[in-house]
Amino acid sequence: MAKLRPKYLNLFEIKLPIPGIVSILHRVSGAGLFLMLPFVLYLLQSSLQSPSSYILFRDLLSSVLVKLLLLGLLWAFLHHFAAGIRYLLLDIHVGTALAPARASSFAVIGVSLVLTVLFGVWMW
Amino acid sequence: MKRIVVGAHYGLRDWLVQRVTAVIMAVFALLMLFIVVFHRPEHYGAWSALMSQQWMRLASLLFLLSLFWHAWIGARDIIMDYVKPDGARLAVQVVVVLLLVVYALWSIQILWGIY
């Protein structure tokens, strides 16, 4: 019998191992950071352009919506940063065995979440 | 004329660029964290004085250009995975490149336009 091609996989049936979760979050966080670039550049511009734009910048930062956006961005940055360092280490053959690879995956997810929560507490 | 339209002739270079730009960004991010924590530029005067020093402008621009180049490689990888029709893929990639070029010019304007 001919096999049915193309094959469609049900993403919700696939159980990714923990390094796989780090990998897809690396992609998702990178895409999110890319999409938010104009917003970040706009914030940087308003913080630097003039004393009056700086006041606008402080007003923006005091809004709950912007704070939530920044927290999301911060998580994306921290996850991308930590996972990126993990990949650089894997490139030079550090931690490639199964147990350390799983442990470092948990560490990447944990560290970025904890730092995001701590920053959120400090910001509010 | 020998034209290679598929294959990994740019793969190793881009792989390396992705990592070199990542290290540049990581170093700058830690430097910025250090400066902000210890100097606490809490008002406009301190913040703009910090950012308008020539070495800081150049370091920030190096960071941002690394970011845009790194983002291009990542965005291109994602587009290649999910946008299959050639025309649509090319269109999306052109939009991403144009956006990143505009961001680079905008960055220069921001860094050298400090009041």
- Does the structure show a pLDDT above 70 at B2? no
Q: By C-alpha distance, which of A85, B93, B80 is closest to A77?
A: A85
* Cβ neighbours of B114 in A, within 8 Å: 48-49
Confidence at residue A9, expressed as pLDDT on a 0 to 100 scale: 77
Confidence at residue A1, expressed as pLDDT on a 0 to 100 scale: 59
Confidence at residue A11, expressed as pLDDT on a 0 to 100 scale: 78
- Does the structure show a pLDDT above 90 at B109? yes
Interchain proximity A41–B110, CB inside 8 Å: yes
A84 touches B at CB < 8 Å:
yes
B22 touches A at CB < 8 Å:
yes
* Cβ neighbours of B69 in A, within 8 Å: none
Q: Which residues of chain A have pLDDT under 70?
A: 1
Give yes or no for a contact between B96 and A30, defined as CB atoms under 8 angstroms apart: no
Confidence at residue B5, expressed as pLDDT on a 0 to 100 scale: 59
Of the two residues B57 and B115, the one the predictor is more confident about is B57
Report how many Cβ contacts below 8 Å link chain A to chain B. 51
- Does the structure show a pLDDT above 90 at B20? yes
Confidence at residue A14, expressed as pLDDT on a 0 to 100 scale: 81
The pTM of this model reads 0.91
Q: B69 phi and psi, to 5 degrees?
A: -65, -45
Confidence at residue A18, expressed as pLDDT on a 0 to 100 scale: 95
Q: By C-alpha distance, which of B93, B23, B94, B24 is closest to B59?
A: B24
Reported as type and span, the H/E element at residue B15 is: helix B11-39
Say which of A38, A47, A88 has its CB closest to residue B47: A47
Dihedral sign for Cα atoms in the order B105, B107, B108, B109? positive
* Cβ neighbours of B110 in A, within 8 Å: 41, 44-45, 48-49
